[in-house]
């Protein structure tokens, strides 16, 4: 923000995090690969 000469208070950043974190989590979870409990060891 400093590069663009925009002054923002740290409390504003905190409010953005509280506001947008649930939305970002939902979007990330939609694109996350399913994970199972099984795993295989490759012979190397």
Residue 34 in 3-state DSSP? coil
Kindly indicate the confidence band of residue 31, based on its pLDDT and cuts at 50, 70 and 90: confident
Q: Provide the 8-state DSSP code for 29.
A: H
Q: Given this model, what pLDDT does residue 16 score?
A: 92
Kindly indicate the confidence band of residue 39, based on its pLDDT and cuts at 50, 70 and 90: confident
For the segment 13-29, the average pLDDT, to the nearest whole number, is: 93
Domain ranges within the chain, ordered by starting residue:
1-30
Beta strands in 1-44 (DSSP E): none
CB 24 within 8 A of CB 18: no
Does the predicted model carry a pTM greater than 0.75?
Answer: no
């Amino acid at each position: 923000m400093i590069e663009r000469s925009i002054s923002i208070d740290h409390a504003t950043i905190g409010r953005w995090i509280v506001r947008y974190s649930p939305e970002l989590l939902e979007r990330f979870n939609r694109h996350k690969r399913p994970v199972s409990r099984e795993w295989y060891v490759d012979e190397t």
